[in-house]
Amino acid sequence: MIFKNNFFIFFIFLIFFNERVFSHCIDYFDAIDPEAKRIVTCPLVTEDSSKYLRRSSSSSSDEDESKIQLVEFKCNNATEETCNKVKDTFFLAGKIISKTFILKTPILLSVDYTNLCIVKPELCDLQEGKVVVIGSAQSAREMLFLDDDGLTRYYPQSLVKQYQLKKHPEFATYDIIATFNSIVNWRFPSDYNVPIQPKQFDMLYIVLHELMHGLGFGSNWKNWFLTGNKTPPLITTKPDIVVTSDKQIIFNEFKESAFDRHLIFNSNYNNLTSITVKLNDFAKPGTKFNNVTDLIQSFINSRQSLIAENMNNIFTTFNSLSSYPKSCHSERAILETSIVPFQNGESISHFDQSYINTPDFLMTTIQVPGKTLSDLVRQSGGTSPIGPRLQAIMECLGYETKRNLTPYRPKLVSSL
């Protein structure tokens, strides 16, 4: 994944928004650029409960079925044969996910397979002979839910669908959006009779990794205040804002993602949520600022900016953070905090690279060329590409498995 160095990153692409709505969601339109987004209204809608019954009965009929459905597929600058290989790869990745997690409601994908060097030339500058972006996926819509600690967090639509709520925030057309670069030297699963080459990437490996991000494996701790000349960066959770019709800014606290609920400091095992709470002393929900610059300058001048500076130090110190879903697994998973400077979407939102030779290799930051997914599973001594720590994190997010039949559920947010 790659992120643009735009100023005021979290304000781009917001639409003017009526202040009094039931709730709001965030829609994403570009899997490569997570800042291509907008706030949308997502009022409660009533679901036909008979649909859930039909899905439940059909889901038990074929355990080998993929519950990840490719409903939109754009394949450009590639042959029909290659396009079919890409589709087959997503189907196989869906089967792996569906074998591990009990998905009661299908997850709908929109995938774009294209030459990014044509579509977005700026993303194809070579770094040491390597293409910068090979692929990316993320949730198409995020929505606020209330957790048992009293905080609201953003949950991915793919997970909310599994709750099978009679009333729920309106869903977007797709659950996950993904883009993969056709210029990459891919090795497809159907090429099993041909050895993978040293500089080839196994597409099943990369697709599965990215789909886990789309399912909710990712942090809201980022450098949202990209002010260019500010050193060190200010690392916070997502500033939740609304732009009014007269371009005022309404600040509604810093918000974590569902993934962030289980993050801890390795030094004392304290939860990072305590820092989010301190950051929210910056301003009360509903506080208005004259404009973007006013908000940013106010934060820079606040005591909370010192907290954000300190978080940058922690997030760029090796072995400083873990995900510890202790109700689902007895062991913590050390997260990636060795990248300097801090990188949005890479830091924290991956496992530490030390897991690359373990059963939890899948979500490390650096993907390995010249190895197939099967190779990596075999050399790790595991039995599945979804390792025990990764499975536990997803279970504590709320995904159901055979060993976790009653997963955690947050509550609907009744109003802003």
pTM for the complete prediction? 0.91
- Please answer whether residues 279 and 236 qualify as being in contact, where contact means their C-beta atoms are separated by less than 8 angstroms: yes
pLDDT at 411 over 80: yes
Domain boundaries, the chain: 9-220+330-412
Beta bridge partners of 265: 321
Task: Using DSSP, state whether 217 is helix, strand or coil.
Answer: coil
Our measurement of the distance from residue 366's CA atom to the centroid of its chain's CA atoms, rounded to an integer in Å, reads 17
- For residue 16, CA distances in Å to 21, 46, 144, 153, 254 come to 13, 26, 19, 22, 20
The residues near 368 (Cβ < 8 Å, ≥ 6 apart) are: 205, 356, 376
Residue 243 CB-density burial (10 A; 0-12 exposed, 13-18 middle, 19+ buried)? middle
Convert the pLDDT of each residue in 350-390 to its tens digit: 999 999 999 999 999 998 999 999 999 999 999 999 999 99
Of 217, 222, 226, the C-alpha closest to 236 is: 222
Q: What is the pLDDT, as a whole number, of residue 367?
A: 87
Rounded mean pLDDT of 216-236?
86
pLDDT for position 257: 98
CA nearest to 330, candidates 319, 342, 338, 322:
322
Q: What is the per-residue pLDDT for 14?
A: 44
Instruction: Reply yes or no on whether the pLDDT at 12 is more than 50.
Output: no
> For residue 9, what pLDDT band results from cuts at 50, 70 and 90?
very low
Q: Which residues contact 21 (CB under 8 A, 6 or more apart)?
A: 41, 43, 416
Interval 288-315: pLDDT, tens: 999 989 999 999 999 999 999 999 999 9
Beta carbons of 222 and 117 less than 8 angstroms apart: no
Alpha-helical regions (H) of 60-170: 80-100, 116-119, 157-162
* Average pLDDT of the residues of the chain: 89
**Phi and psi at residue 179, to the nearest 5°:** -135, 135
Residues 6+ apart with CB under 8 A from 257: 142, 153, 154, 155, 216, 218, 219, 220, 237, 238
| Average pLDDT over every residue of 88-110 | 97
8 Å CB contact between 286 and 252: yes
DSSP states of 309-370: HHHHHHHTSTT-EEE--TTT-SS-EEB----SS--TTTSSSSB-GGGGGSTT-TTBSSPPTT
CA dist 397 and 410 (Å) reads: 10
pLDDT reported for residue 125: 64
> 123-157 pLDDT, tens per residue?
676 555 555 789 999 999 999 999 999 999 999 99
The pLDDT assigned to 47 comes to 81
User: Do 193 and 182 contact (CB within 8 A), yes or no?
Assistant: no
* Residue ranges with strand state E in 197-262: 201-202, 238-243, 249-257
